[in-house]
């Protein structure tokens, strides 16, 4: 059994994950500067596409994957954002990138927020071990670390006088909570034995009653331009898991990249300008939200590959561009960042669950199954029997004037993000998920009694009360930046 210790933080990177938040930065003493950059992080062909239970080898690159970076400087503090087209990236990959970027750019490691978009059409940026204790990085993970750091360095090298503003617009019609409560008296089987009262992606199942949670319709965005009005970058945030519609084996950045391109077109940027405009779409708190309407009328005809993501991205880009026209830009404001390590208990199976898993795996081929995925999750149960007792995660909070940005390394349920927005001392506030790690789903505690995919062992890996502790920590970090 592994001993209790903070995990995913090799000694080499320990100094990067400071356990105490820095004091808020003094008032800005110079005009704002900003720089942005984009670098290709397209993976190798033949590596498996990660995002579903089937993992076909990458056989075609439909659109290249990128790391998109934005650096802000108020004269005394620098902040960096770097967003990568990936389903998820392990803490160690991000830590290595943050260390290199800090050494080369001078931006403090704790002031660098690195996140994955959660496209389901990319190869693996995560370790085989869910907690990433001992796995050496793969060739592609080493490439990711260098490219993430390089994107930050290039963005810092492009720093120039700038103005910053922010805004938001609602786009509710693209969002649907994918977890459904069942009608009274109805249940569905669990892969761990027994029955459950919630179902993910139910299709047009007659057992379903109502969504198990909300959606967040808001597209929030941070806009950066030159003093003359030329757009430098736009970082948006929307709580939509991904869209898909990608053929098997295709590498694609999904709607996140389509938005990045479309918003530049909508803003009328010159595609040949050097340095070029950088559009960025970050994933908000979308762990239980997708783009599938199971209650509305079915489409008249099936969507062609890549069609639906293009429709959604273009609509969002158009709405953001309209809202952009009303943004109040500021040539000077306060920047600050804080980060903290939080120890969470890891989820481990009970002796009864281990016994059930062994019985499932002992069944002969073709024997009746209680659940179609029971063998997969029996294997995960036995793997988690030797899980560490706890894991240390990195949480971040950024201040950009009156705008607050939080960073959480999970696929976060939307109600958690809405709670943070409502209770944050900053107006507005949004949360970027899958930042600084990828530890699986983060449901709020009430969902564990309901069951459903996102609560299963192996996709949820930490204590059921983790979200409450994370929210409290993030709110404390934000409050410290407000002082």
Q: SS3 for the chain, per residue?
A: CCCCCCCCCCHHHHHHCCCCCCCCCCCCCCCCEEEEEEEECCCCCCCEEECCCCCCECCEECCCCEEEEEEEECCCCEEEEEEECCCCECHHHHHHHHHHHHHHHCCCHHHEEEEECCCCCEECECCCCCCCCCCCCCHHHHHHHHHHHHHHHHHHHCCEECEEEEEEEECHHHCEECEEEECCCCCEECCCCCEECEEECCCCCCCEEEECCCCCCEEEEEEEECCCCCEEEEEEEECCCCCCCCCCCEECCHHHHHHHHHHHHHHCCCCCCCCCCEEEEEECCCCCEECCCCCCCCCCCCCCCCHHHHHHHHHHHHHHHHHHCCCCCECCCCEEEEEEEEEEEECCCCHHHHHHHHHHHHCCCCCCCCCCCHHHHHHHHHHHCCCCCEEEEEEEEEEECCEEEEEECCEECHHHHHHHHHHCCCCCEEEEECECCCCEEECCCCHHHHCCHHHCECCECECCCHHHHHHHHHHHHHHHHHC
Check if the beta carbon of residue 424 is closer than 8 Å to that of residue 186: no
Residues comprising the chain, all counted? 483
Q: Are residues 370 and 406 in the same domain?
A: no
Indicate whether 186 belongs to any domain.
Answer: no
Indicate whether 202 belongs to any domain.
Answer: no
Check if the beta carbon of residue 116 is closer than 8 Å to that of residue 141: no
End-to-end alpha-carbon separation of the chain, Å? 44
Please tell me the predicted confidence (pLDDT) of residue 483.
78
Query: What count of other Cβ atoms lies within 10 Å of the Cβ of residue 136?
Result: 8
Q: How far apart are CA 124 and CA 141, in angstroms?
A: 8
Q: Are residues 265 and 223 in the same domain?
A: yes
Q: Are residues 393 and 379 in the same domain?
A: no
Would the CA dihedral through 455, 457, 460, 462 be positive or negative?
A: positive
278: left (phi over 0), alpha (psi -120 to 50) or beta: beta
Q: Are residues 364 and 249 in the same domain?
A: no
Q: Are residues 453 and 370 in the same domain?
A: no
Q: Are residues 239 and 298 in the same domain?
A: yes
Q: Are residues 361 and 317 in the same domain?
A: no
Q: How far apart are CA 454 and CA 201, in angstroms?
A: 11
Q: Are residues 266 and 338 in the same domain?
A: yes
Indicate whether 188 belongs to any domain.
Answer: no
Omega prior to 357 cis, within 30 of 0 = no
How confident is the prediction along the chain (483 residues), in pLDDT tens digits per residue?
A: 343 333 323 333 333 333 333 333 344 556 999 999 999 999 999 999 987 888 899 999 999 999 999 999 999 999 999 999 999 999 999 999 999 999 999 999 999 999 999 999 998 887 766 566 557 888 999 999 999 999 999 999 999 999 999 999 999 999 999 999 999 999 999 999 999 999 999 999 999 999 999 999 999 999 999 999 999 999 999 999 999 999 999 999 999 999 999 999 999 999 999 999 999 999 999 999 999 999 999 989 999 999 999 999 999 999 999 999 999 999 999 999 999 999 999 999 999 999 999 999 999 988 999 999 999 999 999 999 988 999 999 999 999 999 999 999 999 999 999 999 999 999 999 999 999 999 999 999 999 999 999 999 999 999 999 999 999 999 999 999 997
Q: Are residues 377 and 399 in the same domain?
A: no
How many CA atoms lie less than 13 Å away from 167 in the CB half-sphere? Answer: 18
- The whole domain housing 80 covers 11-175+211-345+387-482
Please tell me the predicted confidence (pLDDT) of residue 386.
87
Omega prior to 477 cis, within 30 of 0 = no
Q: How far apart are CA 395 and CA 437, in angstroms?
A: 10
Q: Are residues 301 and 374 in the same domain?
A: no
**Domain closes at, from 359, 384, 409:** 384
Indicate whether 15 belongs to any domain.
Answer: yes
Please tell me the predicted confidence (pLDDT) of residue 126.
79
Please tell me the predicted confidence (pLDDT) of residue 329.
98
Indicate whether 198 belongs to any domain.
Answer: no
Indicate whether 225 belongs to any domain.
Answer: yes
Provide the number of structural domains found in the chain: 2
Q: Are residues 248 and 355 in the same domain?
A: no
C-alpha 200 chain-centroid distance: 19
Q: Are residues 113 and 229 in the same domain?
A: yes
474 token code pair? 């993030």
Q: How far apart are CA 295 and CA 210, in angstroms?
A: 10
């Amino acid at each position: 059994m592994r001993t209790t210790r903070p995990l995913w933080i090799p000694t080499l990177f320990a100094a990067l994950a400071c356990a105490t938040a820095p004091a808020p930065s003094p008032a800005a003493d110079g005009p704002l500067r900003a720089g942005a950059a984009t670098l290709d992080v397209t993976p190798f062909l033949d590596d498996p596409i990660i995002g579903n239970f089937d993992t076909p080898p990458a056989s075609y690159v439909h659109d290249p994957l990128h790391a998109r970076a934005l650096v802000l400087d108020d004269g005394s503090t620098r902040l960096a954002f770097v967003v990568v087209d990936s389903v998820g990236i392990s803490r160690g990959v991000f830590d290595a990138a943050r260390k290199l970027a800090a050494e080369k750019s001078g931006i403090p490691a704790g002031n660098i927020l690195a996140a994955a978009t959660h496209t389901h059409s990319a190869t693996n940026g995560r370790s085989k071990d869910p907690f990433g204790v001992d796995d050496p990085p793969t060739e592609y993970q080493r490439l990711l670390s260098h490219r993430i750091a390089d994107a930050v360095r290039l963005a810092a090298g492009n720093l120039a006088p700038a103005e910053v503003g922010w805004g938001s617009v609602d786009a509710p019609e693209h969002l649907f909570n994918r977890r459904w409560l069942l009608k009274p008296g109805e249940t569905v089987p669990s892969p761990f034995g027994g029955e459950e009262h919630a179902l993910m992606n139910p299709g047009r199942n007659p057992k379903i009653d109502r969504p198990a949670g909300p959606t967040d319709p808001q597209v929030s965005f941070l806009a950066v331009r030159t003093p003359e009005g030329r757009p430098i970058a736009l970082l948006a945030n929307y709580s939509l898991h991904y869209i898909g519609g990608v053929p098997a084996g295709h590498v694609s950045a999904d709607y996140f990249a389509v938005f990045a391109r479309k918003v530049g077109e909508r803003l009328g940027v010159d595609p040949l300008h050097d340095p070029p405009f950088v559009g960025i779409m970050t994933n908000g708190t979308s762990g239980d939200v997708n783009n599938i309407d199971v209650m509305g009328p079915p489409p008249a005809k099936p969507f062609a590959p890549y069609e639906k993501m293009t429709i959604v991205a273009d609509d969002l880009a158009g709405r953001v561009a309209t809202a952009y026209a009303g943004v109040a830009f500021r040539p000077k404001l306060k920047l600050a960042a804080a980060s903290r390590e939080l120890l969470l208990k890891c989820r481990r199976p009970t002796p009864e669950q281990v016994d059930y898993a062994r019985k499932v795996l002992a069944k002969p081929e073709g024997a009746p199954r209680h659940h179609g995925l029971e063998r997969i999750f029996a294997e995960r149960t036995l793997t988690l029997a030797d899980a560490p007792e706890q894991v240390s995660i990195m949480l971040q909070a950024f201040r950009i004037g009156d705008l607050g940005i939080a960073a959480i390394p999970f696929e976060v349920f939307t109600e958690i993000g809405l709670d943070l927005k409502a209770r944050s001392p900053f107006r507005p506030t949004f949360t970027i998920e899958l930042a600084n790690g990828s530890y699986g789903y983060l449901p709020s505690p009430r969902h564990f009694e309901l069951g459903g995919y996102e609560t299963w062992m192996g996709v949820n890996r930490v204590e059921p009360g983790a979200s409450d502790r994370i929210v409290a920590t993030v709110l404390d970090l934000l409050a410290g930046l407000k002082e």
